[in-house]
Structure 1
């Protein structure tokens, strides 16, 4: 039974990382702006009376959690984008090393067999 091949498109990984990084940056900027706006509001919208304080007790922790969570999503997306770039670089390095080894072995054996781990028939 033949072993399955792993085929990776490093350029595709790099290309996918850019929109993910941009989206992460947009989300981060949005939530930073939201945080500034919420902070600027102070307690004015709900007041300092008993009803306003009761509202603030429930609202403020939720608003803070939403801002932190949204910012974390932006950070996660940017981190994932960097991970895709790193993965692409590692696959390129591994593919180049496999190609070099194949060329060296092919040369030593006097033939031109193998694809150097690239799967496209270049020797």
Structure 2
């Protein structure tokens, strides 16, 4: 799939991401190209955990297991969000184009979102 650009609708999340980028830039001396696979510790240098595409997914799975007591993947969270999106009442009034854009933020198509919802039934 390659690099993706995702619009952030939440001003709070956008602010937090800007703070995170600023912190990584100050700690490493250059703007990061990978945002979510860094190791920070008070007594060690800041290091990039890994640059393979599964790094963030593995970290998220480990964290979800510790917090939720159940292993979840990036796709599990995407699937849950797609279902919640489709069950939200404004979704029924959206045009197909608006639905495509909403699902595009989850890096899949409207059609894929419908399949996710169908699998729950």
TM-score in terms of structure 1 length: 0.24
Larger Rg, first or second structure (1 or 2) = 1
TM-score in terms of structure 2 length: 0.25
Q: Identify, as 1 or 2, the structure richer in helix.
A: 1
